[in-house]
Amino acid sequence: MAKRPLKSSVLSVMGRRTKEPPISWLMRLKLERPKLISLAAGFTDNSTLPVDESRRILNKMLGETSLGEASLQYGSTAGDDTLRDLTVRRIRRLDGNLPRQAVAYDAKRTIITNGSQQFLYMVTEALCDTGDIVLVEDPTYFVYLGIMQSRGISGRCVRMNRDGIDLEHLEQVLESIRCAGELNRLKILYLVSYYQNPTGRSTSRRVKAGALELIRHYERAAGHPIYLMEDAAYRELGFAGQQAPSALSVKGAADRVIYSGTYSKPFATGVRVGFGLLPDDLLAPVLRIKGNHDFGTGHLGQQLIVRALESGVYDKNLTKGQRKYHYKANVMTDAMRKHFPESVQWQPPQGGLNVWAEFPRRINTGIKSRLFRKVLDRNVLYVPGGLCYIDEPTRAKPNHEMRLSFGAASENDICKGIRRIGQAI
Amino acid sequence: MAKRPLKSSVLSVMGRRTKEPPISWLMRLKLERPKLISLAAGFTDNSTLPVDESRRILNKMLGETSLGEASLQYGSTAGDDTLRDLTVRRIRRLDGNLPRQAVAYDAKRTIITNGSQQFLYMVTEALCDTGDIVLVEDPTYFVYLGIMQSRGISGRCVRMNRDGIDLEHLEQVLESIRCAGELNRLKILYLVSYYQNPTGRSTSRRVKAGALELIRHYERAAGHPIYLMEDAAYRELGFAGQQAPSALSVKGAADRVIYSGTYSKPFATGVRVGFGLLPDDLLAPVLRIKGNHDFGTGHLGQQLIVRALESGVYDKNLTKGQRKYHYKANVMTDAMRKHFPESVQWQPPQGGLNVWAEFPRRINTGIKSRLFRKVLDRNVLYVPGGLCYIDEPTRAKPNHEMRLSFGAASENDICKGIRRIGQAI
């Protein structure tokens, strides 16, 4: 055989297509510059981590032989039954225990995953082929955009109001997809419904119900169900105002709402336990995929969460965390008022870990912008708003916003970081 | 719009294609019949689980504030650097610390995953499109066949000898793929090289080196690298005889060997920490995919493994486990000698968790066979050998073997189970 250079790539289409997630790049920048003040990372506050509480729970758990053995042994693919049960009861309680929608809160429809990210990944695998369409908020959670990019999924964005997506615009988008004959490719409407990452906005029940009704209407033309995937990752990190119930509480939700949540951010990000609820038709396909991924989430972490929930340690720690984030959000917005020009706008967050700062359109905040470089020269990092938008021919991609996280940075660093950004502006 | 029934499936090709993994079905059977003696499950022995040791490590870890906080916080996508370093040093030591191949054992090429299963999944995602070809042992690890099935990958089997695949047959298979003009679709040769699941056989260094040389030879015609993926999941569960070094020790391995291993089975299956080593060219693509899956394996489990390795607890517990499995393997083969007809053959295992029993060809052991049903009627479950084979037109699929696991069942149940299978025969 003649010696030929090995030219063609050995990677799969997905292997070639998958871009580096911005999250990895942001994490690496932080590692390379230890003095960097990162207002970019989605890390939680170290002081809110239940170190002593976890120690005591684990000590007790592993002090009982049979419970200890069960915790260190394989579980089942869907996850621990007690945890699945506690999970649906918790969501139902948060939703106000409506008696009529009980079927939507069935433990059997629940699956425990390695953080909610794995759940989003597997649901997308089960539903979407290359070229399929997912509707996202404009802007949306950028790590989910990474999953879509990797799988060649086409995103269409729906404008946001203060209480979630604009239903009129949703209808326009659905109508334009129908006119293009592409409704058969539409699979999911993806909403980050509580203290949205990045904007901090929450979706009202009215919008959830309206969105569900609209996509149901277009299902007939699509020829298949269109799912509302509600990402409630930040739901438990609310610290001000009232919370709307989830889309599970809407009539008919059991067949169409995919609900994703996590114990990771509210309790401990190092214990990667998330969960999801699925319509019956999707349960088996997603469980099969989970069987191939890892045949079940680590049992030790699941058992820790079970004991934290049952003992009240989880809720107690959560209250502590919510107070801390409320305080830090105020520290950040106070500093912003002091150091940012008046032309910069934001809403005081009611939960989550981020402030979304809107600059005048002429100020470019993108990765290649002068501002980003000047801020980085001052050892401060933020998430450029542009990362949270998909490319869409019908509108110019906004690049004049910043996601500023108050989760991980100390109060002192928050103040310093905001001051330096103010100077750079 | 006219009301039409929602006919077409909403699932992706993969969602529709993915079959229920046999492992899930076997696990469910066990749940449905609590009295069942399962010689099918790949669970480890509860008595070997380091319950007290883990309690002490976690107690100490979470007793130190900063270490405790780090353990409960996000880590990085690739995994904890100390664990990556300990991992490569451990493999290198097992391989005999050859000075010349140092480059293959670089911590930077290592990635920590949710068990080794997730690693196998992500590598396959990065390399294989639908229709691509993976070479597997005949028989092979059936959960990996599930990953291949799910992704529409075409398997070709290579016959096995006592010391791994038959190199002459490997060459024939490669040659037939070349003749069919399909070498450009061939991506991986997958070898379960230590105490293979299901047969218990190990691959000699000679076969590893020969296989690597052969696939390298065909690369020129393929136009891209062909990787040797060595699955060493059972490597640390050896209890008799000598162990061959891994394929990483072979000259040129750094560019072509993908090595997969785990701390899960040897230490605690409830702490799902596995790992893999990758050629440089594959590191970035797989890390990107990991970023989309879960941006990093749970830190608490990783830190527990680090402390177990550093303190010697891991090795001490491993020795205990190896002794236990050696004893249980003997219990099983003793019972087989007593209760099975002489026509049934097996090799005494030198490691792993399984005995591979070969019945005369006229005895069908398959899921739909009379024997399987009769054994199940006696409340005993085994893995039918047929599950471990791919469909291949060039040979009839063997269905006269059983994988019998001595991992989880008690000595008493092993004896009872084997006796009942003997009666059923």
* CA trace torsion A108, A113, A116, A122 (10° rounding): -90
Distance from CA of B97 to the nearest CA of A (A): 31
CA–CA dist B378, B384 (Å, integer): 16
Of the listed ranges B10-14, B42-46, B77-81, B88-92, the least confidently predicted one is: B42-46
Closest chain B residue by Cα to residue A131: B12
Find the helix or strand (DSSP H, E) in which B274 lies. Answer: strand B274-277
Across residues A379-388, what is the average pLDDT? Answer: 95
Q: Which residues does B170 contact at the CB level (< 8 Å), separation at least 6?
A: B135, B158, B189, B211, B214
From the list A70, A220, A270, the residue facing B300 with the nearest CB is A270
Closest chain A residue by Cα to residue B9: A224
CA–CA dist A202, A188 (Å, integer): 19
Distance from CA of A159 to the nearest CA of B (A): 25
- Beta strand A133-138 with A110-113 is unpaired
| CB atoms B6 and A223 under 8 Å | yes
The counts of H helices and E strands in chain A are: 15, 13
Q: Which residues does B330 contact at the CB level (< 8 Å), separation at least 6?
A: B348
CA–CA dist B197, B201 (Å, integer): 8
Q: State the pLDDT at residue A183.
A: 97
Kindly give the residue spans of alpha helices, DSSP state H, lying in A18-61: 22-32, 51-61
Q: State the pLDDT at residue A2.
A: 42
Q: Which residues does A334 contact at the CB level (< 8 Å), separation at least 6?
A: none
Domains plus CATH for chain A?
A: 13-49+316-424 (3.90.1150.10), 74-312 (3.40.640.10)
Interface mutation target, options A72, A154, A188, A410, chain B, most CBs of B under 10 Å: A72
Distance from CA of A294 to the nearest CA of B (A): 5
Closest chain B residue by Cα to residue A68: B51
Q: Which residues of B touch A303 (CB under 8 A)?
A: 270
For residue A56, give the amino acid letter: R
| CB atoms A7 and B44 under 8 Å | no
DSSP string, B321-386: HHHHHHHHHHHHHHHHHHHS-TT-B-PPPSBSSEEEEEPPTTS--STTSHHHHHHHHTTEE-EEGG
The residue behind tokens 């560019």 is: B255
Task: Strands of A162-207 (E only): list them.
Answer: 164-165, 186-192
Strand partners, B384: B402
What pLDDT digit, counting tens, does each position of B357-371 carry?
999 999 999 999 999
CA distances from B354 to B141, B329, B346, B419 (A): 12, 8, 11, 17
Q: Is the pLDDT of residue A279 over 60?
A: yes
Closest chain A residue by Cα to residue B131: A12
pLDDT band at A273 (very low <50, low <70, confident <90, very high): very high
What pLDDT digit, counting tens, does each position of B233-262 carry?
999 999 998 999 999 999 989 999 999 999
Closest Cα to residue A261, out of A244, A249, A269, A273?
A273
| CB atoms B147 and A184 under 8 Å | no
Q: Which residues of A touch B143 (CB under 8 A)?
A: 291-292, 295
Residue A342 · residue A425 · CB < 8 Å = no
Q: Which two tokens stand for residue B70?
A: 């780090």
Q: Which residues does B114 contact at the CB level (< 8 Å), separation at least 6?
A: A114, A293, A294, A297, A298, B272, B273, B274, B294, B297, B298
Angular region, A85: left φ>0, alpha ψ -120 to 50, beta rest = alpha
Distance from CA of B368 to the nearest CA of A (A): 22
Across residues B142-161, what is the average pLDDT? Answer: 96
Task: Provide the number of CB pairs (under 8 Å) joining chain A to chain B.
Answer: 301
Q: Which two tokens stand for residue B30?
A: 């066990």
Closest chain A residue by Cα to residue B76: A27
| CB atoms A12 and B126 under 8 Å | yes
pLDDT, chain B, mean: 94
Q: Is the pLDDT of residue A405 over 90?
A: yes
Q: Which residues of B touch A15 (CB under 8 A)?
A: 125-127, 285, 289
Q: Is the pLDDT of residue A100 over 50?
A: yes
From the list A16, A18, A73, the residue facing B46 with the nearest CB is A73
| CB atoms A284 and B52 under 8 Å | no
Instruction: Give the predicted TM-score (pTM) of the model.
Output: 0.96
Q: Between residues A254 and A5, which one has the greater pLDDT? A: A254
CA–CA dist A335, A416 (Å, integer): 9
Interface mutation target, options A23, A74, A122, A184, chain B, most CBs of B under 10 Å: A74
Q: What is the ipTM of this complex?
A: 0.95
pLDDT band at A1 (very low <50, low <70, confident <90, very high): very low
Closest chain B residue by Cα to residue A75: B270
Q: Is the pLDDT of residue B265 over 70?
A: yes
Please state, for a pLDDT cut of 70, what percent of chain A lies above it. Answer: 98
Residue A231 · residue A120 · CB < 8 Å = yes
From the list A50, A219, A298, the residue facing B298 with the nearest CB is A298
CA–CA dist A253, A258 (Å, integer): 9
Interface mutation target, options B143, B294, B304, chain A, most CBs of A under 10 Å: B294
Closest Cα to residue B117, out of B233, B228, B256?
B233
What pLDDT digit, counting tens, does each position of A5-52 carry?
555 689 999 999 999 877 777 777 877 888 999 999 888 999 999 999
Q: State the pLDDT at residue B28.
A: 75
Q: Which two tokens stand for residue A425?
A: 């502006």
What pLDDT digit, counting tens, does each position of B305-364 carry?
999 999 999 999 999 999 999 999 999 999 999 999 999 999 999 999 999 999 999 999
| CB atoms B127 and A65 under 8 Å | no
Q: Is the pLDDT of residue A233 over 50?
A: yes
| CB atoms B10 and A291 under 8 Å | no
Q: State the pLDDT at residue A81.
A: 96
CA–CA dist B261, B268 (Å, integer): 14
Q: Which residues of A touch B289 (CB under 8 A)?
A: 14-15, 18, 150
Kindly give the residue spans of alpha helices, DSSP state H, lying in B223-298: 253-256, 280-293
- Distance between start and end Cα atoms, chain A: 62
Q: State the pLDDT at residue A22.
A: 78
Closest Cα to residue A151, out of A24, A292, A289, A15?
A15
Distance from CA of A286 to the nearest CA of B (A): 8
Q: State the pLDDT at residue B26.
A: 78
Q: Which two tokens stand for residue B79?
A: 């995994």
| CB atoms A14 and B292 under 8 Å | no
What pLDDT digit, counting tens, does each position of B166-178 carry?
999 999 999 999 9
| CB atoms A295 and B58 under 8 Å | no
Q: Is the pLDDT of residue A3 over 70?
A: no
